[in-house]
Amino acid sequence: MKRFNFFSVTTIDEACGLLSSYGPDAAALAGGTDLLIEFRRPGAKVPKVLVDISRVNELGGISESDGHISIKPLTSHTQLLRSALLQKFAPLLNSAASSIGSPQVRNRGTVGGNIMNAAACADTVPPLIALGATVTLQSKTGSREMSLAELFVKPYQTRANLGELLTAVRFKKLPPDTRSAFIKLGRRNALAISRLSVAAILQTGKDGKIADARIVPGAAFPTWKRVTAAENMLIGEKPTPKLFAAAGQKVSEEMIKETGRRWSTEYKEPVIAVLVRRALEQCLLAQSEQSPSFNPVAMEAGGKGKSPSGSQSLTLNSFSGQECAISTTINGRSRTLTVPANCTLMDLLRDILGLPGTKCGCEVGECGACTVLLDGEAVNSCLVLAPQIHGRRVTTVEGLTLNGKLHPLQESFMDHDAAHCGFCTPGMLMSAKSLLDSNPHPAEREIRTAISGNLCRCTGYQQIVEAIENTSVPGRALRQSGK
Ligand SMILES: Cc1cc2nc3c(=O)[nH]c(=O)nc-3n(C[C@H](O)[C@H](O)[C@H](O)COP(=O)(O)OP(=O)(O)OC[C@H]3O[C@@H](n4cnc5c(N)ncnc54)[C@H](O)[C@@H]3O)c2cc1C
Ligand code: FES
Ligand code: FES
């Protein structure tokens, strides 16, 4: 990765000041799950200055006031999918968040980064546009608000000016008689970007007729928008399978009108029609589609910038430079280090600290071999910059053993023959540890979700799942694994 100057800030004012001073030479860094991959692309334009906003407390959290929900940009996808507030007032957003990447990507990736990266396949955008969201952009000189739909010029381009930071996303709560759904079609169930997606909202009146309808497809049009021609077909009508199929067909026609016929049209034309029909059908069910791992918890306040529990009690002052002095805790040991700003946590662990248990596979967040725990959450260490662990607690596979004794998970992996070549094993263990720490009795489907960001080319996963299922952690009753 090319060298850059790294600024870690703790207030919006500091961030806006730096972004404005350095103009085109600066970029904001939130979770880094888009940006760090872009930096590694051959020929990529890497900014001279990276402004790390991930410690800005005022940019985190989900709240409710005046009939509106406000989501701050550092809210991670994990926080979105677990939000009880969203489950009640905008459940299609929980569903969209739960479909993003893997647990590791969802723990780091933020809603603000998803919006500002403006990729055509960004999964939080269709639901937010269906919800009629507005965004607030703030700069050194003031702030302005616009509708989210207006923000986008084309894929990867927004109307944000240089020096502007996204500081809030806001929308009206859905009324109680409204149902919503988000459907995504990817090449597999995890770690798959949307080939197509649909966000839909339906409100039916007392007479059983549709009073309001909103349909926003993802990755279908040049930018996101509601397909009013299809929505108008629904309003005032009684919902029927035939009507929903016709609305799907209309969306398909509108898509072709705008994009013309291309290499992908043969596939997209019938598929978008079916997805729209299914999304509308799902809206009619009592509950819209939920994440299989959905588990709402009261964690609305505080986002990435929140001082994470278990972290060192450190004053997180701003710091900067191409080399950064940081204090951190690695495997229970406090360390003060000077790290190159462009060094990833994975490289720091392996090459500087001599902890090679963390493996390097893809370096783009897709294999999970580099998984470690950051304040107890599984993250891809190839997508975290070393300065970002300042004040945080890192646990690697080397930290699992205690006084030379293997962790019960490691014992169970051996008992169940869950490691063959062993390359994926450290990452698998760390994802499993993160799961069991928060959920000592996971169901098989929860185990499979927890390791969905970890690829294994040898075992076929079954033994790994059984090893996790049968790990003997204190106070935990074992299940019958069928083996
Ligand atoms: C393996 C993998 C799988 C993925 N799967 C999916 C998927 O299924 N669906 C999906 O939608 N995405 C997916 N992504 C993409 C990515 O995780 C998301 O887009 C994520 O939300 C980006 O957020 P971030 O905080 O990591 O952004 P960053 O990488 O930190 O930033 C992205 C861009 O937004 C800008 N930015 C960030 N915050 C602000 C702000 N507050 N104000 C102004 N600009 C800002 C940055 O300067 C940068 O240009 C995947 C990524 C990986 C690595
Ligand atoms: S996910 Fe980090 S090396 Fe593959
Ligand atoms: S055991 Fe070989 S990759 Fe999983």
Q: Does residue 382 belong to any structural domain of this protein?
A: no
* Closest residue to atom 19 of ligand 1, CA basis: 114
Q: Does residue 307 belong to any structural domain of this protein?
A: no
Residue 197's closest CA among 225, 223, 218, 227? 218
The tens digit of pLDDT for each residue in 192-225 reads 999 999 999 999 999 999 999 999 999 999 899 9
Whether 136 and 12 have beta carbons less than 8 Å apart is answered as no
Residue 133 and residue 233 in one domain? yes
Q: Does residue 172 belong to any structural domain of this protein?
A: yes
pLDDT at 475 (0 to 100):
55
Q: How many domains does the chain have?
A: 3
> Residue 37 sits in a domain of what CATH number?
3.30.43.10
Residue 47 and residue 151 in one domain? no
* Closest residue to atom 3 of ligand 3, CA basis: 456
pLDDT at 322 (0 to 100):
86
Residue 36 and residue 154 in one domain? no
Contacts of 399 (CB under 8 A, 6+ apart): 330, 331, 332
pLDDT at 56 (0 to 100):
97
Residue 276 and residue 417 in one domain? no
Residue 446 and residue 408 in one domain? yes
Residue 201 and residue 90 in one domain? yes
- Residue 305 vs residues 103, 213, 391, 416: alpha-carbon distances, Å: 19, 36, 12, 40
pLDDT at 411 (0 to 100):
96
Q: Does residue 470 belong to any structural domain of this protein?
A: yes
Residue 9 and residue 41 in one domain? yes
Domain boundary among 260, 284, 308: 284
Pairwise CA distance, residues 459 & 470, whole Å: 17
Phi, psi of 52 (to 5 degrees): -80, 110
Distance 454 CA to ligand 2 centre (A): 9
Q: Does the structure show a pLDDT above 70 at 314?
A: no
Pairwise CA distance, residues 473 & 475, whole Å: 6
pLDDT at 405 (0 to 100):
94
Residue 279 and residue 406 in one domain? no
Distance 45 CA to ligand 2 centre (A): 22
Q: Which domain holds residue 45?
A: 5-13+15-52
* Closest residue to atom 49 of ligand 1, CA basis: 117
The tens digit of pLDDT for each residue in 242-280 reads 999 999 999 999 999 999 998 889 999 999 999 999 999
11-16-21-25 Cα dihedral, nearest 10 degrees = 100
Distance 28 CA to ligand 1 centre (A): 11
Q: Does residue 308 belong to any structural domain of this protein?
A: no
> Residue 193 sits in a domain of what CATH number?
3.30.465.10
Residue 151 and residue 275 in one domain? yes
The tens digit of pLDDT for each residue in 37-47 reads 999 988 888 99
* Closest residue to atom 2 of ligand 3, CA basis: 421
Residue 108 and residue 166 in one domain? yes
Domain boundary among 240, 263, 284: 284
pLDDT at 309 (0 to 100):
37
Residue 101 and residue 250 in one domain? yes
> Residue 448 sits in a domain of what CATH number?
1.10.150.120
pLDDT at 288 (0 to 100):
40
If one residue of 38, 41, 58, 100 were mutated to test the ligand 1 pocket, choosing by the most ligand atoms within 8 A of its CB, it would be 100
Domain boundary among 261, 284, 307: 284
Q: Does residue 471 belong to any structural domain of this protein?
A: yes
Residue 93's closest CA among 102, 83, 103? 83
pLDDT at 318 (0 to 100):
63
Q: Does residue 40 belong to any structural domain of this protein?
A: yes
pLDDT at 424 (0 to 100):
98
Question: Angle at which helices 408-415 and 462-469 pack, to 10 degrees?
Answer: 140
Residue 162 and residue 270 in one domain? yes
* Closest residue to atom 23 of ligand 1, CA basis: 113
pLDDT at 270 (0 to 100):
96
Q: Does residue 447 belong to any structural domain of this protein?
A: yes
> 10 Å Cβ neighbour count for 357?
17
Atom of ligand 2 nearest to the CA of 362: 4
* Closest residue to atom 4 of ligand 3, CA basis: 456
If one residue of 6, 9, 35, 454 were mutated to test the ligand 1 pocket, choosing by the most ligand atoms within 8 A of its CB, it would be 35
